[in-house]
């Protein structure tokens, strides 16, 4: 994964008022910590930070004036629940060659046999990888798989240097038999208020005729 260089500024003002002023200037308050160092409070450029964090597990090279550059991974990103803008970022300092635990995405490709349902039980998986070589994700093929097939964490083909950080029997994908029209009709008939549903369906059918 390529490093994204971000020019940061030291931050000496704290509290909600200071944070609002920082955001009004299109910047993001953030904190750097890890490796036994005291937390470093910084301000990040809003636009550059937003672009960088579109990539999961983005590796950031934080440059602060008068200080050494630090490699960091996003640990927690707080966003505005309505606008989606970044309000605060917690960054954990990492070293080159160091192993870190991160969640990577599961990508499903291919088609199981007709009449089956592909259930993604876990959309991501916790792995251990070098901080500078975190994979974007792992791909799982369901091509031609039959109902009753289960894919576990141990079945995943991880990139070299990446290992599982979860139990090997963690269920990732489950292939089940699809629901037939008859089964769906039976389920609807057994559901509460089924008489009203049936009556409505009959009325609609009568109108359609």
Tell me the pLDDT of the chain (209 aa) as tens digits.
678 999 998 887 777 888 888 888 889 999 999 888 888 899 999 999 999 999 889 999 999 876 778 899 999 999 988 888 899 999 999 998 899 999 999 999 999 998 899 999 999 999 999 999 999 999 999 999 999 999 999 999 999 999 999 999 999 999 998 765 555 566 667 767 655 544 443 333 333 33
For 172, the token pair is 């990732």
What pLDDT is recorded for position 169? 96
169 within 8 A of 152, measured Cβ to Cβ? yes
How, if at all, do strands 116-120 and 171-177 pair?
Answer: antiparallel
145-163: b or e for each residue (b if 16 or more CB lie within 10 Å)?
beeebebbbeebebeeebe
106 within 8 A of 123, measured Cβ to Cβ? yes
For 147, the token pair is 């109902």
Residue 155, SS3? helix
Residue among 75, 62, 60, 80 at smallest CA distance from 19: 80
CA distance 112 to 109: 10
C-alpha pair distances (Å), 94 with each of 5, 70, 202: 15, 8, 65
What pLDDT is recorded for position 35? 85
């Amino acid at each position: 994964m390529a490093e994204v260089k971000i020019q940061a500024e030291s931050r000496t003002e704290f509290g909600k008022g200071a944070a609002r002023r920082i955001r009004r200037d299109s910047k993001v308050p953030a904190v750097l910590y890890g490796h036994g160092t005291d937390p470093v409070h910084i301000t990040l450029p809003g636009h550059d930070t937003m672009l960088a964090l579109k990539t999961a597990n983005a590796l950031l090279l934080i440059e602060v004036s008068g200080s050494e550059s630090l490699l960091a991974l996003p640990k927690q990103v707080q966003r505005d629940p309505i606008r989606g803008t970044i309000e605060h970022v917690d960054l954990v300092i990492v070293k080159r060659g160091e192993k870190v635990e991160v969640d990577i995405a599961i990508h499903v490709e291919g088609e199981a046999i007709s009449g089956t349902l592909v259930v993604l039980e876990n959309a991501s998986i916790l792995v251990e990888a070098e901080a500078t070589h975190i994979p974007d994700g792992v791909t799982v093929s369901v091509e031609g798989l039959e109902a009753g097939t289960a894919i576990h964490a141990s079945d995943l083909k991880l990139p070299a240097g990446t290992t599982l950080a979860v139990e090997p029997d963690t269920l990732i994908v489950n292939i089940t038999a699809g629901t037939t029209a008859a089964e769906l009709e039976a389920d609807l008939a057994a559901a509460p208020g089924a008489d009203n549903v049936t009556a409505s369906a009959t009325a609609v059918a009568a109108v359609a005729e």
